[in-house]
A and B are shown apart, each in its own frame.
Chain A
Amino acid sequence: MTDIVEFKNATKAFRGVPAFRNVNFTLRKGEVHALLGENGAGKSTLTKVLAGLYPLTSGELWVEGEARAFASPRDALAHGVAMVFQDTNLVPSMTVAQNLFLGEERFFNRLRGVNIRAQQQLQRLSFHVEPTALVSSLGAAKKQMVEIARAVQHNARIFIFDEPTATLTPEEKEHFFALIEHLRAEGGSIIFISHALEEALAIADRISILRDGEMVASDETGNFSKDSIVQAMVGRELKNELYSGGATRKARPAGRKVLALENVSMGKAVRGATMSAFAGQITGMFGLVGAGRTEMMKIAAGVLKRDFFHGGRIKLNGKSVRFSAPSEASSHGVAYVTEDRKFDGLFDRMEIAQNIFLAKLAKGANPVSVVTMAQARREAAEWIERFNIRATRRKARVVELSGGNQQKVVIAKSLVQAPELIIFDEPTRGVDVGAIAEIHAIIQKLADAGAAVVVISSYLPEILAISDRILVARQGRIVEEMSIEEATEEKIMYAAVH
């Protein structure tokens, strides 16, 4: 196979701080190449150079035998390079079909024709997405599908997938892997960024690993094991295996009942959901996309409202509550750590201290008190140290942080409110293995300290690794409860789909 992409001694720096340096990387024609590394290792930046978002600071980029410096993503696409971004870049107020053909509109654009073409395209990929649906109404998984369909639509030869499977259910992942095979069979070359090492080992022909902006390993997949990848990624051995089997540890005993949902309903998303969360325990919630688990917890946290009539009952510490806004929930000691940190979790143009302190203000502050920025920074500094939030400078804006560190800021924002019930929605999505271990440790400590913790995750090993009890959601209800001793991936998945 010939090299279709080649980075030669490539360096990219922002304000003099290198995101990656002296990187040599090749992508062969017709191969799937997994690019792995911790958040902040430089993977996304490297691929963004290829996709035309950034120019190189030094070094060379060769595409199909010619030196290139793409001026824009459009320029890159014109040369056959398409990228599916980690955070979807769809226009929420437009339909799926409009997003698919955005930028390709004809002078006389017939909406019906666009919808039909979109339908054909989505059907070809076996993606069950309604072309006339507004993107804002889609869940994360379906948005990802539209992103993928858009890349395929452009007949690109080089595809870059940045964390494409993070939001997909196991079934959807199977579809995605089939799509990768399909693209490869048609001569496409694929760069695949993922934090799920099993996926990289399963579908990649070659694996390259970046650490702190340097290429530390690149070889055929067969020469790697999961352990060797992790060691190369983090440069150290993780103290404990991240996702050790749940059956080997003992669950924490349940404390008092902190949260109870009784027959809670909200439209078609949540239909008579009943569940409890107990102090001093981690309650894991699993379910396929659309099962309603996020909605159930958003209702509990005041983000969404249950049906006004016959919407069920929510009890916090035995008392019925009806939150009309998240601030009411937070003043009652409920914190919700969002699954979509970019959209719901952060003011990404503000600095870390401002984000953390704003959360404290949201819980309720003395309206006549004056808070200086220095005070806010002092408070934030404690959380930055406690959670080991790594930033290039003290006043760094959140947007400058890696995904894992952003997630730690989101968690700090919630914990600064001193909640007794903390709901984590996909806490480690798009987060590297090093940060996953740190976030898991934070969650475990919260439960050890007596808080009631609910963790929603689509990743079964994560659910098994950190939960004391596991709830399975399906079609807007909780359909199964398992103790950690009896739970297996197969049992959980069976309950989720049957």
Chain B
Amino acid sequence: MTALLSAMASLFGRDDDALSVPPMDGVFKPNNRLETAELILELPAIDNLAIAGGALYCSSGDALVGVDPTSRSAKPVRRFDGQITMLAGSQSGRIAVGVEGAGLALLEGIGEPRWLDLPADWRSCVTAGLFRDEDSLALAIGSRRRRWSDWKRDLMSHGASGVVATGRVSTGAFEVVGDNLAFPYGLAARGGGELIVSESWRHRVLSVPADGGAPKAVLDQLPAYPAGIAAASDGGFWLALFAPRRQLTEFVLQEDDYRDEMMETIPPDAWIGPDFADGGGEEQPLQAGSVRQMGIMKPWAPSRSYGLVVRLDRDAAPTASFHSRADGRMHGVASVIEFNGRLYAASRGAEALLGLGLDPDGSR
């Protein structure tokens, strides 16, 4: 009977399943911890936090920037000819830089970068990297069909051309260990050579065996789009989720004709879908779902952007969360990192670097 009912609902194209999103409750219960976190510094288009040689780096548009959280200062290191989409650092100080349209550059010391010979369809959307030792590098390619800056089109086209690969920077040879992924956006290492990968468009976190075995979901049904992952000092992980899932977006994602027309006729900034920040323009009436009364934004408004960082344990089970709600500003956190006993989060929406304690309430 159950199967019959589900089949009938699906036949009518109105199965209720598509129009609901997982609840933000339990560990995901909203709070204002990101909103009240310490503001370290403000930097345009800040993203991609990485540690190399014991120093903290981030990207700011096309610039690689060194950050000193103690003095709250940032110093440009190098500019590239395109948007930086990924940073990965090694213990000795090597930095791998993903540049949109150009591929992967390797910075060693103060000299010119060495460009690795990645396949042509990998060069425009390197979303994450992880040095496992000085030579071994794991990469996530969000999409082989679209550039990083065209991520909204990839989502709206149900893109699933992402790749996870491992290889050596000395030879530039990479081997695919996970294929046909729906925008892999974050990478972290787990014991036994496994990689933990966030698959953004499918709202889940995967465990990918190093030998290329089948990926396995270790955390799914997330209430937001997962982005960067970083190792936590206690053996767990920090997961950044850059935008919330909303019923309206889920609805749009199942209406093919509507999406096609939207993509053809409307600029991407005005599409119905997730985003890193509140555009603030009048052309975006659905930002915050119009839930604004007497000039006050309701915290529970179904906004397109949101700020969310989740602490995961060793088994990738969520144990704590840090939020900036619809009425907040610290939205679009796509990159987090633990550095010198503190957690740092880059909010693209507020263009700010935030510092938090490591306790579940962000206090220490």
CB pair B16 A274 closer than 8 Å: no
A73, CB-defined interface residue at 8 Å: no
Task: Tell me which residues from 18 to 41 in chain B have a Cβ below 8 Å from any Cβ of chain A.
Answer: 19-23, 25-27, 29
CB pair B26 A263 closer than 8 Å: no
Q: Per a CB cutoff under 8 Å, which of B12, B17, B25 touches A320?
A: B17
B221, CB-defined interface residue at 8 Å: yes
Q: Per a CB cutoff under 8 Å, which of A257, A322, A324 touches B26?
A: A257
CB pair A324 B2 closer than 8 Å: yes
Contacts of B20 in A (CB 8 A): 262-263, 274, 312-313
Q: Which of A8-16, A121-129, A303-311 participates in binding chain B?
A: A303-311
CB pair A276 B26 closer than 8 Å: yes
Q: Per a CB cutoff under 8 Å, which of B2, B14, B16, B247 touches A321?
A: B2
B21, B23, B220, B317, most chain A CB atoms within 10 A: B23
CB pair B220 A318 closer than 8 Å: yes
Alpha-carbon distance between A88 and B1 when the two chains are bound, in angstroms: 35
A336, CB-defined interface residue at 8 Å: no
Q: Per a CB cutoff under 8 Å, which of B23, B27, B247 touches A275?
A: B23
A67, CB-defined interface residue at 8 Å: no
B9, CB-defined interface residue at 8 Å: yes
Contacts of B6 in A (CB 8 A): 320, 322
CB pair A253 B16 closer than 8 Å: no
* Known pairs A254-B26, A274-B25, A469-B26; A263 contacts B247 (CB<8 A): yes
* Known pairs A260-B23, A276-B23; A313 contacts B221 (CB<8 A): no
Contacts of B5 in A (CB 8 A): 308, 322, 324
B290, CB-defined interface residue at 8 Å: no
Alpha-carbon distance between A312 and B23 when the two chains are bound, in angstroms: 12
A278, CB-defined interface residue at 8 Å: yes
B233, CB-defined interface residue at 8 Å: no
Q: How far is the CB of A132 from chain B (nearest CB, A)?
A: 34
CB pair B27 A254 closer than 8 Å: yes
Contacts of B12 in A (CB 8 A): 309
Q: How far is the CB of B251 from chain A (nearest CB, A)?
A: 11
Alpha-carbon distance between A436 and B5 when the two chains are bound, in angstroms: 41
CB pair B1 A324 closer than 8 Å: yes
A261, A469, A481, most chain B CB atoms within 10 A: A481
Contacts of B21 in A (CB 8 A): 262-263
B319, CB-defined interface residue at 8 Å: yes
Q: How far is the CB of B16 from chain A (nearest CB, A)?
A: 5
- A contact residues, range: 35 or more
Interface flags for A14-33 (1: CB within 8 Å of B; 0: not) read: 00000000000000000000
Contacts of B25 in A (CB 8 A): 274-276, 471, 478, 481
* Known pairs A262-B23, A321-B2; A309 contacts B9 (CB<8 A): yes
Alpha-carbon distance between A441 and B2 when the two chains are bound, in angstroms: 36
Contacts of B29 in A (CB 8 A): 481, 483
CB pair A322 B19 closer than 8 Å: no
Count, chain B residues at interface, CB 8 A: 23
Task: Tell me which residues from 295 to 352 in chain B have a Cβ below 8 Å from any Cβ of chain A.
Answer: 317, 319
Q: How far is the CB of A16 from chain B (nearest CB, A)?
A: 51
Contacts of B19 in A (CB 8 A): 263, 310
Alpha-carbon distance between A260 and B317 when the two chains are bound, in angstroms: 16
Alpha-carbon distance between A15 and B325 when the two chains are bound, in angstroms: 67
CB pair B220 A322 closer than 8 Å: no
In the complex formed, the residue of A with least CB distance to B317 is A256
Alpha-carbon distance between A278 and B29 when the two chains are bound, in angstroms: 13
Q: How far is the CB of A421 from chain B (nearest CB, A)?
A: 14
Q: How far is the CB of A251 from chain B (nearest CB, A)?
A: 11
Interface flags for A257-280 (1: CB within 8 Å of B; 0: not) read: 100111100000000001110100
CB pair A322 B2 closer than 8 Å: yes
Contacts of A275 in B (CB 8 A): 23, 25
Q: How far is the CB of A310 from chain B (nearest CB, A)?
A: 6
A315, CB-defined interface residue at 8 Å: yes
B1, B2, B16, most chain A CB atoms within 10 A: B16
Contacts of B27 in A (CB 8 A): 254
Contacts of B1 in A (CB 8 A): 324-325, 328
Contacts of B26 in A (CB 8 A): 254, 257, 276, 278, 469, 481
Alpha-carbon distance between A310 and B17 when the two chains are bound, in angstroms: 8
Q: Per a CB cutoff under 8 Å, which of A312, A315, A471 touches B221?
A: A315
A323, CB-defined interface residue at 8 Å: yes
Alpha-carbon distance between A145 and B39 when the two chains are bound, in angstroms: 58
In the complex formed, the residue of B with least CB distance to A324 is B1
Alpha-carbon distance between A209 and B29 when the two chains are bound, in angstroms: 46
In the complex formed, the residue of B with least CB distance to A313 is B20
CB pair B2 A323 closer than 8 Å: yes
Alpha-carbon distance between A260 and B14 when the two chains are bound, in angstroms: 20
Contacts of A315 in B (CB 8 A): 221
Contacts of A322 in B (CB 8 A): 2, 5-6
* Known pairs A274-B23, A469-B26, A481-B25; A310 contacts B2 (CB<8 A): no
Contacts of A478 in B (CB 8 A): 25
Alpha-carbon distance between A315 and B220 when the two chains are bound, in angstroms: 12
Alpha-carbon distance between A315 and B21 when the two chains are bound, in angstroms: 11
Q: Per a CB cutoff under 8 Å, which of B16, B220, B319 touches A312?
A: B16
Q: Per a CB cutoff under 8 Å, which of B14, B23, B317 touches A310?
A: B14
Q: How far is the CB of A320 from chain B (nearest CB, A)?
A: 5
Contacts of A481 in B (CB 8 A): 25-26, 29
Alpha-carbon distance between A313 and B5 when the two chains are bound, in angstroms: 13
In the complex formed, the residue of A with least CB distance to B221 is A318
Interface flags for B343-363 (1: CB within 8 Å of A; 0: not) read: 000000000000000000000
CB pair A313 B16 closer than 8 Å: yes
Alpha-carbon distance between A276 and B14 when the two chains are bound, in angstroms: 24
Contacts of A323 in B (CB 8 A): 2
Contacts of A313 in B (CB 8 A): 16-17, 20
Contacts of A261 in B (CB 8 A): 23
Contacts of B221 in A (CB 8 A): 257, 260, 315, 318
Q: Which 6 A-B pairs have the closest CB atoms?
A: A262-B20, A263-B20, A274-B23, A313-B20, A324-B1, A322-B2
Interface residues of B (CB under 8 A from A): 1-2, 5-6, 9, 12, 14, 16-17, 19-23, 25-27, 29, 220-221, 247, 317, 319
For the complex with contacts A274-B23, A308-B5, A325-B1, 8 further pairs of A-B residues with Cβ separation under 8 Å are A254-B26, A257-B26, A313-B17, A313-B20, A320-B17, A322-B5, A478-B25, A483-B29
Q: Please, could you name 23 A-B residue pairs with CB atoms under 8 Å apart, sorted by A?
A: A253-B319, A254-B27, A255-B317, A261-B23, A262-B20, A263-B19, A263-B20, A263-B247, A306-B16, A311-B16, A312-B20, A313-B17, A318-B220, A320-B17, A321-B2, A322-B2, A325-B1, A328-B1, A471-B25, A478-B25, A481-B25, A481-B29, A483-B29
